[in-house]
Every structure is written in structure tokens, then in C-alpha cells.
Chains A and B, each alone.
Chain A
């Protein structure tokens, strides 16, 4: 590698080597790469350790394997990516900053994060820092009009291209003389003083290569929402419960978005509802998508978690059937496009008493969906018993594997139904349509179609008090002077928003803090 190639293959290091830096960062995903880039122009020597290489490897990926014992979850080695760029190598790009209400329970408010969100906007290659849907109205693409005082509002996500951090920012790190990236370098233990008040070094190992150490003034774990907890729990030679785990909080409060498909069916009065705003679409070169959510007042009054509801089209009528008899098309609607018989009759009545009877045949011939379904997501209250612990099994490096017990609140379905009741009431109030809550009583339960969104959060939560959090408001592990955590594991609560933008914003904030400490 040449002068500006500050990437080192750790498998080529001498056995027992000690790397010295000012700041060691473990994990080269969105948080780790953001930290390294942001500190690259200073006088500090940054060592960034990445478990994987520049490309995917099955062998490295298997280090993520573990067991899941709670709510259905994909295999742990499939839900994340363990190579340079981390899980940004397969994320979808959805971005939105947390609202002020979403940050209640955090040790700082939205105003503290605002400058970092604006900087994150550029890092994520997004458009202008504009999240008011009015700023994205464009011709015929308008939000639904629910009228004044509606409890349901429209929000907007912006989509990053998506930014693959390992690809987009590799060159920056290659050119950064102050930064050295060590590939194939796995953290296997953290050394501390005898009271675990200060980290004295990192023990690292390669799958096929040497074991070596790294020392620095400050250390940052940026390995992801599950792995950060794992690394603290496994480093238990001094604090037996795991590093920073004096109050049994490390690994607890694991959170992920539970996306529920077909939670409800929506029938719009207008045969051609203007829903383009709620599909991904491009406005002035930026890909955006609208969604529905409850106003802060409504959510608070109802005691509901922050939730969002997306609307997607039902299946398109078969064009061939449209050429057949009216009776055949009639039945195709009843059997194929409306979930159940009562809904079919509501289709017939959809325009209600405000309109005279419509020509059903003309409507059908236009081949547009009338029936839509919802996708529900929320930021459920954190559950202490939803957690990451360690199993007795070990990986190829001898590090204990993870046991994940993801739990949803017992009232999750009830909250989801109430959210849809509110939407149904607002749709009717605005004369827009009718909504049906899907449940086990009326058909396949939507609770059977929950998918996690691969947003792992909360396992080293942030709080000013060590009795409530693993890290403080500056993401420093309580009780340990020089150990920090970056990434979504520090979120004490979450919203329905994707976490990546907040991950990047928090990393920038931590970078500023570390720059002050090491000035």
C-alpha cells in the first residue's frame, strides 16, 4: 500500500504487536467511519479497527451468529454485515431526524442535536434539511387533506442514495494521514485497571492471523446495537457482570422496530386517491416518501407510543379479467382485491350518500386499485427484559456468543389497533374513506406478519444517572474515564424513524466531545 493508503491488513501484523494511538475506535460502520473522518484533520492519531475486510466474507460473518429466544428474529448473522462499512452495506436509506417529542427521556433535547443533524444530512448525501411535507409538495403529488385539528398528520422521509459508508468514504480515510484502518481486526477483550475505572488497552485477534494489542488515551466502541453490549459483557475479568455493568443494564432494553404489514385495510371514497405522495418519489432530485403519524397532542392524550402508518396499494386487477364479463370482474374484486365480503359491499358503497350510484364497470375497466393496506411501525416503550445476554457457546475467536431475547410490549397489538382507530376516524371525518382493522377475529392476524426492521438499539442506553444508563450524556461509560460508546446502542428510547441519521449525528457530537477532551 502507498503513502496515502492508511489501510492495514491486521493479519500481516507481527504476533503480540502493540498499536499505539490517541483514540481507538472499534467498528467501521456508520458511527465508526463518521468519527474517524471527523477527527481525521486534527493532530490525534486515530486507529479504526474493523472485524471484516473490504468485502463480505462468510467466515467473518459467522462471528455474528448467536441465538434468538424471544420474538421472531432473523438469524443474527444475517441481520447485520461485518465488513468495512458495516450494516450501511445493505441499509435502505430512509432518513429523518427525531422530533423533539421523540427525544423526551434523553439527557438533551432536539436543539442540542440540530447542528449535528444538519451535518449528518450532508454525510448521508441527502437534499436540503427540510422535513416539512409542505416543502415537498409538487404538482399533483400532495399529502391527503385531513383538515384542521386532525389527529393524523403527514410526515416525510428523505432517502439517502443509500450511502454505503465503506465505499463512499474509503478514499477519505485512505488519504487521512492521522487515521489508520486495521482490517480483519476483532476485539476480543478490553483491559482495564484493577478497579475497572480506566481502560488500559484492547486485545484484538485475527481469525487467521496474530493476536495483538492496542492502547490509546480514549476508546470508542462503535460495533453496533448488539455487538457493543456483547463486547462489554464479555470483557468481565475485573467486573464479573461485564464492563460498565455494575447496575445490570448492559444488554437490557434491546429495541428494534416491529413493522406490521396489513395491519389494516383502507378503502378510499375516491376511485383514484392521490397517494403518490406516500410512495417513494423524486422531488427536485431528492427521493422522498410521505407517511402518516399522530400529532404529538393526540399521541400523548391517547398514551400511545410514537407511530407511523404507511399506505400501500392492494393488488392490481388482472387485465385479462377486465376483458371478460362484468360478472367475472365483479367476482375478482370480491375474491381477489377485497379481503372479505363485507368489504366488497363497502366498495360498492364507497362514495356513500354524497354521490349517486357509479357505473361499476367503468371503474373496473380503469384498472386502478381501490383497496389499500397499511404498514405500521412505532417506537414502543423500552422493555428492561428485552435484552442481549451471552450464551455459553463461543465463536471461532473464543468470544461468547449472543443470546437475544427481543420482546414487544404486551399492549403492542392494542396500541396498534387504537392507532388505526384514530386513522379510521380521521379518514371518515375528512370524507376520505373507510378503514378496517385486521385482526385474528376477522382474518389472518397481522401479528403473524411482524418483521423486524434491523434497527438494533438501546443495549447501552444513555442516562445521566448510572442507575438508569450505561453511558452518560456524552456517551462515556459510567464509571470508566476513557471508554465511550457510539451508535444506536446508546438510544434510551426510539421513535418510528430509522436510526441511521441519529447515529451519525450522535457520532459527530461525540467527535466534538473527544476533540475537546484531547485538545
Chain B
């Protein structure tokens, strides 16, 4: 039997799953990675994010954006790590609606958008 790509992938997944048995915890995704994973359409997020950063160039940089988003959510990296995806989504959704309620909005190309959601998209820019 030849070693094919599918077999190699299966082996890699198995090895990853064995890590805890070897005393090695799987790497914890960073807050930035977790936030980026919440965005459903990266290509569109990229375009929106670039448009946002054209207006707010001082916020460019995934680290800076992540800190700004976490600050508005009242979370730190550790808190993000332990929250499940639905909980994170809910916190962001609440924050986004609060942005509109408190006029924390940005106008990009005429669109009135939440600052938090645009920062989130800018993570893909």
C-alpha cells in the first residue's frame, strides 16, 4: 500500500489527538484566532475590514484590534480562552447592539456600522 496524502492526514490527526496522552496539551488558540473564527465569510470580512482601516489606520494590526475588541467586551485573553463559541458570539452580538444604542458607530462608504463588528472584520484585513 502506498502512503498517500489521505493516510498522512489521518496520521497527523491521530497524533494530535494523542498529545494529551503524552502529557502535552494541544495549543490553545489565541484570542485573535478565536475572534477571527467567528467571522463567517473571510473574503467579505477582508474587504469590509480594509474599508474600516482606511478610515482608522491607527487601529491597524491584529494585536491592537484584538485588544480593542476585548476591551469593549470586558474580557482578557484568559477569559476568551475558556469561553465556548456560542458564549463568545452572544457577547459580541450584545456588544454590537450596544454600539448602535450608544452611537459607537462608524460610517464607511455611507454604511452605518458597529465599531466592534468592523474591528472584527478588520482582523481579516
| Chain A residues close to B by CB (< 8 Å) | 265, 340-346, 348-349, 351-358, 421, 424-431, 434-439, 441-442
Report yes or no: A425 in contact with B117, Cβ–Cβ below 8 A: no
Please give, as numbers and ranges, the residues of chain B lying within 8 Å of A353 by CB-CB distance: 38-40, 89, 92-93, 96, 117, 120
Give B108's nearest chain A residue, CB to CB. A342
Q: Does B27 contact A (CB under 8 A)?
A: no
Give A150's nearest chain B residue, CB to CB. B101
Report yes or no: A421 in contact with B112, Cβ–Cβ below 8 A: yes
Chain A to chain B contacts (Cβ below 8 Å), 24 pairs: A340-B109, A341-B47, A342-B108, A345-B47, A345-B48, A349-B45, A352-B93, A353-B39, A353-B96, A353-B120, A356-B40, A357-B40, A425-B101, A425-B103, A427-B100, A428-B113, A428-B114, A429-B100, A431-B93, A434-B113, A436-B111, A437-B110, A442-B109, A442-B110
Give A429's nearest chain B residue, CB to CB. B100
Report yes or no: A429 in contact with B110, Cβ–Cβ below 8 A: no
Q: Does B72 contact A (CB under 8 A)?
A: no
Report yes or no: B105 in contact with A425, Cβ–Cβ below 8 A: yes
**Best-buried of A340, A341, A434, A438 by chain B (most CB within 10 Å):** A434
- Give CA–CA (A120, B105) in the complex, Å: 45
Contacts A342-B48, A424-B112 supplied; 14 other A-B pairs, CB < 8 Å: A342-B109, A344-B44, A345-B41, A345-B48, A348-B43, A352-B93, A353-B117, A424-B105, A425-B100, A429-B97, A436-B110, A436-B112, A437-B107, A439-B110
Nearest CB of chain A from residue B89's CB, rounded to whole Å: 5
| Chain B residues close to A by CB (< 8 Å) | 38-41, 43-45, 47-48, 51, 89, 92-93, 96-101, 103, 105, 107-114, 117, 120-121
Nearest CB of chain A from residue B124's CB, rounded to whole Å: 11
Please give, as numbers and ranges, the residues of chain B lying within 8 Å of A439 by CB-CB distance: 110
Report yes or no: B108 in contact with A352, Cβ–Cβ below 8 A: no
Nearest CB of chain A from residue B59's CB, rounded to whole Å: 18
Give A355's nearest chain B residue, CB to CB. B40
Give A421's nearest chain B residue, CB to CB. B112
Nearest CB of chain B from residue A344's CB, rounded to whole Å: 8
Please give, as numbers and ranges, the residues of chain B lying within 8 Å of A340 by CB-CB distance: 109
**Best-buried of B101, B109, B120 by chain A (most CB within 10 Å):** B109
Rank and list the top 4 A-B pairs by shortest CB-CB distance, nearest first. Answer: A428-B100, A424-B112, A357-B40, A345-B44
Report yes or no: B48 in contact with A349, Cβ–Cβ below 8 A: yes
Please give, as numbers and ranges, the residues of chain B lying within 8 Å of A426 by CB-CB distance: 100
Asked, given contacts A428-B97, A428-B100, whether A434 binds B44 with beta carbons under 8 Å apart, the answer is no
